[in-house]
Chain A
């Protein structure tokens, strides 16, 4: 059964393909590789945790995956398009169309309401305001904040702010959702809520990449990647989660029958 799924996925090209990626930082006379000889494929609808100690290259990887930074060398294909050497303006367009960012510190625009925050990325694709509003309201409804759309970020709790950020990432219908320590500033109950939301999105077909150093979070992801000193040292499927998804799938199927 499991092998069947994998065969199916192999037919489709991976959504993300990194080949021999290196990222060199120069500080004065010193130079070091934040990433070196890095290879990684991520498939459609993967739910990946990227883990590692601080300084292991997680953030650099995240910035390159999010098209915020350029690799010094190597090939990065996003949806089969080579994005490693595109100019800044084109990369901005790719960030807008393909990537949804979720940050540890939420990074909402402080003087804009929840609705305006969620509408913001749609401005950059030239969407008229009426359409923006409809889409943003839908996204906020999806994360359970329908009744908070006119609140400013400082009128919301941490969990609610992160939900607004998730809605902002979802509203563009991105190819990948890139979350950098999304629960780092949240208490454990809220963390569970947010992880449950990610779970839901994954089951709806979303591709998710979560950068985390917490084992608990990694345990809730389908696939766990471990970095040390800019190199990939482990890449494994999480058996418990696989089991969990299988059960969920069975429940769905039986319900349909």
Chain B
């Protein structure tokens, strides 16, 4: 056992010596592995960063939150039909469906109502009308000031809660709460500023203004009923399915849908969305891993090719070593370990490069810092070593089986 260990140590020493002696060639040989492993690590780190940031977004919402949106199938959309959720749908759900703790309608102010002015500064943003339950449903709370309450909503008060970025965009100086801004030609009093949430994929999550629903509804005018979305939280997560069923039946009746017709709305839960995201990221990872696996395989063939050339080139050396008393096993181990050593070295360099690329990409698209999970590191190394073993065995066997007399005579 200890003699095997000794041989492995000596072969590693000799492999390191040989790799160093052929620096540039060793680098080129292992380049396939370097690129393969670097791609694995870069891809995995970006995908992981992506999915963890999305997951954290959903974590804020909680698993018992349901959102309902109007949904028009593509075929009907082409026919010019547009499905809508109305305030009446909201009220029906609010009063007829039991087991709901919070519910709020959400409506987006569009056109001129998306333009905000303050002391000569003007900017476009998302202006959203919603209820006071919004804060507990989406886990957004005011950093300063307060959120609007039921009374603000009932009396259609012209009050606004700002996302953090609005302050910079409008260049509001001093205390923000208590100042007035103009939205769609009407003055609104700022009553609160929300906690900063940062950017996701370069998308500013703090660039919006919240108004009470009724106020927004008035701002939009009565010409056409706007399409709203409804968010609600159920008391008990176990009742989620029955409540969803209840809402579905209610909305179908409201919308006069025939039995055969598909739903013209979508009821989705945070959990469902999370599952969708996870399945997308995991299948992306799988596909990319497959591609990368092929590149590692190609890298391995490159290593085998160079190792075969190297065995031929070093035939005489192998003859000398055999004359000096090297056994078949000694030579086999030497070349096998050299191949594995090359692959592991490539794996290590690839790991560093892949980590760098991952960090760079995450930085460019505003993802949270790249995380490389341990399994990806172990997998890359394991795969590299495996490739070395697999593709090193043929050249090593060729070297080990050389006849010492012929090898010594080789020019």
A235 to B290, CA, bound (A): 72
A97 CB-CB contact with B under 8 Å: yes
A112-B17 in contact (CB<8A): yes
| Nearest CB of chain B from residue A188's CB, rounded to whole Å | 26
Q: Does A126 lie within 8 Å of B3, measured CB to CB?
A: yes
Instruction: Note all chain A residues with C-beta closer than 8 A to B18.
Output: 111
A89 touches B327 (CB 8 A): yes
Could you say which residues of chain B place their CB within 8 Å of the CB of A96? 324-326
Known A-B contacts A109-B317, A111-B17, A111-B18; A124 and B6 likewise in contact (beta carbons under 8 Å): no
Q: Mark interface residues in A190-231 (1 if CB within 8 Å of B CB, else 0).
A: 000000000000000000000000000000000000000000
A120 to B326, alpha carbons, bound, how many Å?
9
Least distance between B363 CB and chain A CB atoms (Å): 43
Which chain A residues border B323 with CB–CB below 8 Å? 66, 68, 95, 101, 107
Q: CB-CB < 8 A to A103: which residues of B?
A: 408
User: A216: shortest Cβ distance to chain B, in Å?
Assistant: 25
B328 beta carbon closer than 8 Å to chain A: yes
**Complex: chain B residue closest to A120, CB-CB:** B324
Q: Closest A-chain residue to B6, C-beta based?
A: A126
Place the interface of chain A in its size category.
20 to 34
The contact string, 1 if C-beta is below 8 Å from chain A, for chain B 304-321, is: 000000000000110111
Mark interface residues in A114-156 (1 if CB within 8 Å of B CB, else 0).
0010001101111000000000000000000000000000000
Chain B interface extent, by class: 20 to 34
Which chain B residue shows the least CB distance to A165? B320
Q: Which chain B residue has the least Cβ–Cβ distance from A178?
A: B323
A121 touching B405 by the CB < 8 A rule? Answer: no
Could you tell me if B3 and A92 are in contact, using CB atoms closer than 8 angstroms? no
Interface contact A123-B10, CB-CB below 8 Å: yes
Residue B89 is within 8 A (CB to CB) of chain A in the complex: no
Q: B-facing mask of A84-110, CB < 8 A → 1, else 0?
A: 000011001101110001010001111
Query: B326: which A residues are within 8 A, CB to CB?
Result: 92, 96, 124
Q: Does A63 contact B (CB under 8 A)?
A: yes
Distance A191 CA – B235 CA, assembled complex (angstroms): 102
Q: Which of A69, A111, A124 contacts B324 (CB 8 A)?
A: A124
Q: Which residues of B contact A111 (CB under 8 A)?
A: 17-18, 21
The answer to whether B3 and A121 have CB atoms under 8 Å apart is: no
Residues of B within 8 A of A109 (CB): 317, 320-321
CB-defined contacts of B408 to chain A, threshold 8 Å: 68, 103, 107
Q: Which of A89, A121, A172 contacts B329 (CB 8 A)?
A: A89
Interface flag for A168 (CB, 8 Å): yes
Please tell me which one of the listed residues A69, A95, A120, A124 contacts residue B405 in the complex, with CB atoms under 8 A apart: A69
Most chain B CB within a 10 A radius of its CB, from A92, A97, A109: A92
> In the complex, A97 Cα to B328 Cα: how many Å?
16
CA distance A122 to B15 in the complex (A): 17
Which residues 280-335 of B sit at the A interface, judged by CB distance below 8 A? 316-317, 319-330
Once bound together, how far apart are the Cα atoms of A116 and B17, in whole Å?
A: 11
B404 within 8 A of A: yes
CB A81 to nearest CB in B, in angstroms, measures: 16
Point out the residues of chain A lying under 8 angstroms from B405, CB to CB. Answer: 63, 68-69
> B3, A107: Cβ atoms under 8 Å?
no
| A107/B325 in contact, CB under 8 A | no
Select from chain A the residue with minimum beta-carbon distance to B322: A92
Please measure, in the bound complex, the distance between the C-alpha atom of A66 and the C-alpha atom of B322, giving whole angstroms.
11
Residues of A within 8 Å of B327, CB to CB, are: 88-89, 92-93, 124
**Which of chain B's residues have a CB closer than 8 A to the CB of A95?**
322-325
Q: Which of A89, A109, A112, A116 has the most CB of B within 10 A?
A: A109
Say whether B328 contacts A89, CB under 8 Å: yes
Residues in B neighbouring A69, C-beta threshold 8 A: 405
Question: What are the residues of chain B within 8 A of A120 when measuring CB–CB?
Answer: 321, 324
Q: Mark B326-362, 1 if CB is under 8 A from A, else 0.
A: 1111100000000000000000000000000000000
B interface with A by C-beta (< 8 Å) = 3, 6, 10, 17-18, 21, 316-317, 319-330, 404-405, 408
- 14 A-B Cβ contacts within 8 A? A68-B323, A68-B408, A88-B327, A95-B322, A96-B325, A108-B320, A109-B317, A109-B321, A111-B18, A116-B17, A120-B324, A124-B327, A124-B330, A168-B324
Other contacts beyond A68-B322, A88-B327: 13, CB < 8 A: A68-B405, A89-B327, A93-B327, A97-B325, A101-B324, A103-B408, A107-B323, A109-B321, A111-B21, A116-B17, A121-B325, A124-B324, A124-B330
